[in-house]
Amino acid sequence: MDVLYGIPIIGLFVQFVAYIVQIGPNIAPIMLAISVPLAFGALCGIMNERSGVVNIGIEGMMLMSAFFGFVAAGFAAGSVDFDTSGPFGVTPPILLGVAVAVGVAVLLSLLHAWLSITIRTDQIISGTIINIAALGLTGYLNRIFISPNPRLGAGTFQTWRPPDWLTDLPAVGWVFNMFLKQGPIAMSLIVFVIVVQVLLFRSRWGLRTRAVGEHPRAADTLGISVLALRYRNVILGGVFAGLAGAFLTLEQTGSFQNGMTAGRGFIALACVIFGRWTPIGAFGAALLFAGADAFGRTVGLIPPTGELAGLGEVLGAVPDQFYGVLPYVITIIVLAGAVGRSVPPAAVGRPYVKEGQET
Amino acid sequence: MRPREWLRSAMAAATVPVLAVVLGLVAGAAVMVISNSLSTGVTDVGLPLRAYGSLLAGSLSGLDEVVRTVSEATPLILAGLSVGIGFKAGLFNIGANGQFLMGALAAAGAGAAVSGWSPLLAIPAALGAGMLAGAAYGFIPGALKAWTGAHEVVTTIMLNFIAAALIAFLVTGPLATAGASFARTGDVGNAALPLIIGRPGGTGHLGILLAVVAVPLAYLLLFRSVLGFEMRTVGANPSAALYAGMRPARLIILTMALSGLLAGTAGAGQVLGISHSISASYSTSVGFDAITIALLGRSHPIGIFFSALLFGLMRAGSALMQIRERVPVEIIDVIQAVILLFLAADIIVRTVFRIRAPGSGVAEELETVTRTYGGAA
């Protein structure tokens, strides 16, 4: 290997690959965890866009769910004493928090559906309203409810510890580690991705959804209620946005900060496009973003040393902030490269008006 | 158009926005009362009146307060025009924040470098650097959209985060001034914009004039120039523009660069006129206010001017409101969101106030924005 590492430039690349292989198994569970809000956000985007509705308000929905889930769980934990906790560290307050988070996102989705489907407001404006309202309202309520109660919080779900014999398996052990050393919301993600993928392409609902997103008039002619289906899908999408928000405060961090979604709702939209509007594709894209993110966080903690010192020098010379913006830069690159090559549902962004009911 | 007709059409255009603001204030009052009673257990119906009273006291009660209102409105006018011009051309610039930050960063960096020059040279140099940086930062999403189809709604948001990181990097590293207790750029010295009104050490800087001048300029550009006509045509109907021999790709890039230039000017003005340096965590919410302002002003420069003054007033008075009545300044953001909601769903406003007259939707130009979302022009 030393010979390979010594080649200029190409050697660095080989070192890079070796470094990824070296740290890969360790950062795989972190990577999956980082991908969870992105992938749930992308599922929300797919539910919306497949039926012809643009939803750029996912960011705001996540933020509101993260906030209200956290506050609900926190106040529940503060007012009643629960010392029983089930598997995953499940406590009633945390469950309540998740329910509230999902409920809030569903309400916001209902607003988005009403604005963009019923009264046919511009869909991007509708999403922007949700984003701005979320930033403002959570900032305001944070000051009123969280700031005076610094001890507020109900803790988080615990990650499961898979048995050692499973994770120690040669070659594939780290995969088990990646998917199983997780909390319940992260684990549910994989189930949801597969279920939505199968339903979207193998069920009556999926066929109707795709028809409504591609050619609503034709679907209408066949007796499918375009508006009702869009409503249902936008609201179901809200459930996923709510889980994404709940994950941030009730599984990953256990605290709330203003603007903590940090653009994840928008990166999720890039995942939708990059994944060609399929759940599995979008999950793959989310893993790519999460991989870049996890890599950036790891370089500072476990820099390449020893044989890989050459690479360590190069990576060490790159400022920290660069690694921090990797997901954003990749989002732009992916969008610039993928748009046009992946074809969106034809009716995306267009409100549907029944023939003869145009105003 | 005769003055009387003009006035009538202006009033018709302003009806829904004004009523949306009224409803926004009412909803803000409701949020204050409810959240206050939830957190303290006391239902205080007089709170909103006192809060809005101190908001006005903090923004209009004397010359100092009025100067603060106007200087708060200054970046909002420029950024509002930035977003509004985008809307007219069918582009949604959510990146005014990032362009503002790049303008601020470039003005701070250039200003510190030329701080020893004569003001006559230093000010144009620093201001110009900020404007160019903003324009360049607007050019990027414009070119991405024109050449690759990447939608500006996502790319500009990403660029906002990148701008913040770039500031953190440059201000802690290459641009950091020696001997400061925290990471910040050097003072802009002679590049500082001179005060033109109000007390010494206040915020009544020359940049205010810049914003005021930008309003008629934007009007002339949009409604009295060939370029403006082409921009509006592309916004209304890109394929018609293409058939008429206009070049949508070029117009998209030009509009975004111009939009970035305006937002960059806003950032440069803030730094050169008020803060005179920036810290590593320098941030802003101007870009988001600007979206509301542009919609509230119906993307018309004059409408944007008055909307920006309203938001400048709220921003200027909110500090006193928080001190006196303990209502967090973030209530302004809540009110802003409600105003946006009522603007978009003007059917609510029309129902509440029983307006029968037909009106055009506030967000009409935006149809193009959403249509191009999937990547097809």
- What's B176's DSSP letter? B
Give counts: helices (H), strands (E), chain B. Answer: 15, 0
pLDDT of B376 reads 47
Q: How many residues does chain B have?
A: 377
Inter-chain residue contact B330 with A337, CB threshold 8 Å: no
Minimal CA separation from B178 to chain A, in Å: 20
| Distance (Å) from the alpha carbon of A225 to chain B's nearest alpha carbon | 23
- Site from A75, A132, A152, A318 to mutate, B interface, most B CB atoms within 10 angstroms: A132
Q: Which amino acid is at A331?
A: T
Q: How confident is the model over A137-166, as pLDDT tens digits? A: 999 999 888 888 888 877 788 888 777 777
Mutate one of B40, B94, B147, B161 to test the A interface: name it (highest A CB count within 10 A): B161
A308-351 confidence digits (pLDDT tens)? 777 777 777 787 778 888 888 988 888 888 766 667 788 887 88
- pLDDT score for B377: 39
Q: In the predicted model, is pLDDT for residue A257 greater than 80?
A: yes
pLDDT of residue A341: 65
Q: What is the pLDDT along chain B (377 residues), one digit of tens a residue?
A: 678 888 888 887 788 888 889 999 999 999 999 988 888 888 888 899 999 999 999 899 888 899 999 999 999 999 999 999 999 998 889 899 999 999 999 999 999 999 888 889 999 999 999 999 999 999 999 999 888 888 888 899 899 999 999 999 999 888 888 877 788 888 888 888 888 887 887 888 888 999 999 999 999 999 999 898 988 888 888 888 888 888 888 999 999 999 999 999 999 999 999 999 999 889 888 998 999 999 888 889 999 999 999 999 999 999 999 999 888 888 998 898 899 888 887 777 777 777 765 555 555 666 677 777 765 43
Tokens (6 digits) for B111:
């200003």
CA atoms within 13 A on the CB side of A46: 29
Give A273's contacts in chain B (Cβ within 8 Å).
375
Handedness of CA B329, B335, B337, B339 (dihedral sign): negative
- pLDDT value of position B104: 96
Length of chain A: 359
Judged by CB atoms closer than 8 Å, whether chains meet at B162 and A328 is answered as: yes
Asked whether residue A357 carries a pLDDT value surpassing 80, the answer given is no
Q: Encode B280-348 in three state secondary structure.
A: CCCCCCHHHHHHHHHHHCCCCHHHHHHHHHHHHHHHHHHHHHHHHHCCCCCHHHHHHHHHHHHHHCHHH
Q: How far apart are the first and last CA of chain A?
A: 72
**Side chain identity at A349, as an amino acid letter?**
G
Q: CA torsion angle for A226, A227, A228, A229 (degrees, to 10)?
A: 50
Rounded to the nearest 5°, which phi and psi values hold at B206?
-60, -25
Phi, psi of A56 (to 5 degrees): -95, 10
Interchain proximity B374–A344, CB inside 8 Å: yes
Q: What is the pLDDT of residue B369?
A: 73
**Hey, what are B60's tokens?**
């209009």
DSSP helix, strand, coil percent of chain B (3-state; round to 5): 75, 0, 25
CB atoms within 10 A of CB B303: 21
Q: Which of A135, A136, A127 is nearest to A108 (CA)?
A: A127
Q: Report the distance separating Cα B263 and Cα B289, nearest Å.
A: 12
Task: With CA atoms as reference, report the closest residue to A251 among A135, A130, A95.
Answer: A95
Query: With an 8 Å Cβ cutoff, is A107 touching chain B?
Result: no
> What is the DSSP code (8-state) at residue B195?
B
pLDDT of residue B375: 54
Per-residue tokens: B93: 């610039």
ipTM (interface predicted TM): 0.87
Higher pLDDT, A49 or A2: A49
Cα distance between residue B182 and residue B174, in whole Å: 14
For residue A105, what pLDDT is reported?
Answer: 96
**pLDDT-based confidence at residue A83 (cuts at 50, 70, 90):** low
How many C-beta atoms lie closer than 10 Å to residue A202's C-beta?
Answer: 10
Residue to substitute from B154, B351, B366, interface A, most A β-carbons within 10 A: B154
Tens of pLDDT along A270-319? 899 888 899 999 999 999 889 888 888 888 777 777 777 777 777 777 87
In this complex, the residue of A135, A324, A339 whose CB is nearest that of residue B333 is A135
CB contact under 8 A, A140 and B154: no
Distance CA A126, CA A120 (A): 10
The answer to whether the CB of B234 falls within 8 A of the CB of B142 is no
